[in-house]
């Protein structure tokens, strides 16, 4: 069953460029790199309980190193096959990870998070000043050079480079969790001091895990740079660091593939909805807040819990749970869309905004009815969700 699912997913991923046009293949590339980035981030969090608020530093380092290597190849200084160049990005990020990780992991918890944040901000500030290395506002550009009969001119061809790196890298990250260092990292996440009384240098172990995480984050960045053929210092920005946190926690940080669900799902949704709204990040933020309030374990954990119930119980007993859950989600989605779109327009258009067209109806911004609706919806969602949670607990008790 498990292997069947893996085989189906592999075939599906291989067929993407055959089945879809360039625009969509590009979205898939972003889904893959965002997934690898989130997996790398979660290596630190899920195992070692180190929450990095500055992982853009490593993602960006991978991007810039890759672009520099591509430019060297273009200038005939360096003869490296194009598909191998992102590895250089990963190594550069790993190097940064050893240094940044060494200092950041002296601390844990809030202080660790603050140090990672500061490192990323520092590099961001450097990026805006140091034109020679980071290319200023315009950033740096390069071109993919052909190799071994491949021109890499189409998005489809580059897609296979990305896929060829992301899948093995994800597998490697999974494997790391099984090795002595990976198990040790779990132990450190549980009780770092205890580990030291068993003869381990916890700081060294944390630095190693950090460097591994940075390596894979850099690989993800490098792959994206290879695809975009351009990067500017915005890659080090807070949005990048924040989005990997949101992706991971919405997807579910406690399950290996949770971050993939979050990263791939939200990237896909964002691309699909980019024509409809310019406020995607606000939606992700709202989803994150709701998720943390009602189900902090994330989507993957919800999915697994539900799957277990489907396996153990006859389906009619699950109708109620899923109906309630579905209603709650629907109510919250409507509330969020309503509030975000209305508020955004009221704020951007100021006094001139009097009416907004949404859901096929015109809403007056000054009417109390307009604002009562989302409040009522949110309340309904809350009630439905609480009922769903109660129902789920009842069913789980019945199973156990």
Partner 1 sequence: MTSAVISLQGIAKCFGSLEVIRHLDLDVLEGERHALIGPNGAGKSTLVGMISGLIPLSAGAIFLNGRRIDGLAPERINRLGLGRSFQITRIFPRLSAQENLRIGVMARHGIRYSLFRPATAYSAVAREVEALLAKVRLDGRAGVVAGELSYSEQRALELGMALASEPKVLLLDEPTAGMSRDEADHVVDLIRTIAIGRTVLIVEHDMDVVFSLCDRVTVLAYGELIASGPAAEIRRNARVQEAYLGTEHVA
Under a CB-based contact definition with an 8 Å cutoff, are residues 246 and 42 in contact? no
CB 5 to partner 1: min, Å: 22
Under a CB-based contact definition with an 8 Å cutoff, are residues 206 and 105 in contact? yes
If one asks whether residue 205 binds partner 1 (CB under 8 A), the answer comes out as yes
If one asks whether residue 208 binds partner 1 (CB under 8 A), the answer comes out as yes
Pick one of 22, 137, 191, 349: the residue that binds partner 1 (CB under 8 A).
Answer: 191
CB 377 to partner 1: min, Å: 38
Under a CB-based contact definition with an 8 Å cutoff, are residues 53 and 245 in contact? yes
Which residue pairs, CB below 8 angstroms and at least 24 apart, start in 120-125?
Answer: 120/53, 120/54, 120/55, 120/56, 120/57, 120/236, 120/238, 120/241, 121/54, 121/238, 123/57, 123/60, 123/61, 123/236, 124/56, 124/233, 124/236, 124/237, 124/238
Neighbour count for residue 329 (Cβ, 10 Å): 15
CB 127 to partner 1: min, Å: 32
If one asks whether residue 194 binds partner 1 (CB under 8 A), the answer comes out as yes
Comparison of 120 and 202: residue with beta carbon closer to partner 1 = 202
Pick one of 189, 222, 259, 381: the residue that binds partner 1 (CB under 8 A).
Answer: 189
Under a CB-based contact definition with an 8 Å cutoff, are residues 163 and 223 in contact? no
If one asks whether residue 195 binds partner 1 (CB under 8 A), the answer comes out as yes
Strands (E), 325-400: 355-358, 361-364
CB 283 to partner 1: min, Å: 32
The C-alpha torsion from 369 through 375 and 380 to 384, rounded to 10°, is 160
Pick one of 29, 184, 240, 321: the residue that binds partner 1 (CB under 8 A).
Answer: 184
Pick one of 6, 111, 143, 186: the residue that binds partner 1 (CB under 8 A).
Answer: 186
Pick one of 151, 201, 348, 362: the residue that binds partner 1 (CB under 8 A).
Answer: 201
Comparison of 179 and 366: residue with beta carbon closer to partner 1 = 179
Pick one of 32, 202, 261, 266: the residue that binds partner 1 (CB under 8 A).
Answer: 202
Residues that bind partner 1 (CB under 8 A): 175-176, 178-184, 186-187, 189-191, 193-202, 204-205, 208
């Amino acid at each position: 069953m498990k292997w069947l699912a893996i085989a189906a997913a592999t075939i599906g991923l291989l067929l993407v460029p055959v089945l879809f046009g360039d625009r969509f293949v590009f979205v898939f590339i972003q889904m893959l790199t965002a997934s690898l980035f989130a997996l790398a981030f979660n290596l630190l969090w899920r195992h070692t309980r180190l929450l990095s608020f500055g992982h853009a530093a490593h993602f960006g380092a991978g991007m810039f190193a890759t672009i520099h290597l591509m430019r060297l190849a273009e200038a005939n200084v360096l003869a490296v096959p194009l598909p191998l160049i992102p590895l250089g990005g990963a190594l550069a990020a790993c190097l940064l990870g050893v240094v940044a990780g060494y200092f950041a992991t002296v601390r844990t918890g809030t202080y660790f998070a603050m140090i990672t944040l500061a490192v990323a901000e520092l590099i961001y500030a450097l990026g805006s000043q140091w034109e020679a290395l980071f290319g200023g506002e315009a950033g740096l550009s390069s071109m993919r050079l052909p190799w071994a009969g491949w021109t890499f001119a189409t998005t489809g061809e580059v897609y296979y480079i990305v896929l060829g790196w992301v899948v093995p890298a994800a597998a490697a990250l999974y494997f790391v969790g099984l090795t002595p260092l990976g198990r040790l990292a779990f132990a450190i996440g549980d009780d770092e001091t205890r580990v030291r009384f068993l003869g381990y240098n916890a700081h060294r172990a944390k630095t190693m895990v950090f460097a591994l995480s940075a390596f894979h984050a850099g690989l993800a960045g490098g792959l994206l740079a290879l695809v975009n053929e351009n990067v500017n210092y915005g890659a080090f920005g807070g949005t990048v660091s924040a989005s990997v946190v949101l992706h991971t926690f919405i997807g579910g940080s406690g399950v290996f593939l949770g971050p993939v669900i979050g990263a791939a799902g939200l990237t896909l949704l964002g691309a699909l909805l980019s024509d409809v709204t310019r406020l995607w990040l606000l939606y992700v933020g709202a989803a994150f807040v709701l998720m943390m309030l009602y189900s902090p374990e994330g989507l993957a954990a919800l999915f697994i819990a539900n799957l277990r119930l489907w396996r153990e119980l006859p389906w009619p007993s699950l109708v109620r749970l899923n109906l309630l859950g579905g209603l709650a989600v629907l109510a919250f989605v409507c509330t969020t869309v309503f509030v975000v779109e209305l508020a955004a327009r009221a704020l951007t258009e100021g006094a001139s905004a009097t009416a907004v067209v949404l859901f096929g109806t015109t809403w007056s911004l000054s009417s109390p009815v307009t604002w009562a609706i989302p409040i009522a919806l949110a309340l309904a969602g809350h009630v439905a969700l609480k009922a769903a949670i109660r129902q789920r607990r009842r069913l789980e008790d019945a199973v156990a």
